[in-house]
Amino acid sequence: MSKTVIYHNPRCSKSRETLALLEGQQQDIEIVEYLQSPPSVTELTTLLKQLGMQPRQLLRTKEALYKELQLNNDNLSDQQLIEAMCANPKLIERPIVIKNNQAIIGRPPEAVLDIL
């Protein structure tokens, strides 16, 4: 059985609900507390490919930091957005679950069942 990886924030209710759902599915889980161990640019780029998303789609636009860093600027490149998320991981939407090279955001938590 391949591992199920969750990019988890224990303070987030959706992240906790998703982790509980995975545990209930008897998954071999690897928990990545991404606020303590942010992904590298390479890791985040891979995650985006697995998610089938553009960097802007993974940004938490309601975070105060999003406005402070002026990330709503359409002139920013994908690379700049990825670097901003790596430097400030709380800007990354959560939770992200990866299984067999596929990734999905656990919003709602039940969405992760599609890749298990």
The residues annotated as belonging to the active site are 12
Pair of tokens at residue 26:
């008897």
Contact 85, 45 (CB under 8 A): no
Taking Cα atoms as reference points, which of 41, 17, 3 lies closest to residue 108?
Answer: 17
Task: Show the tokens assigned to 1.
Answer: 């059985």
Residue 90 in contact with residue 59, Cβ under 8 Å? Answer: no
- Produce one character per residue of 88-110: b if its CB has 16 or more CB atoms within 10 Å, e if not: bbbbbbbbbbbbeeebbbbbebe
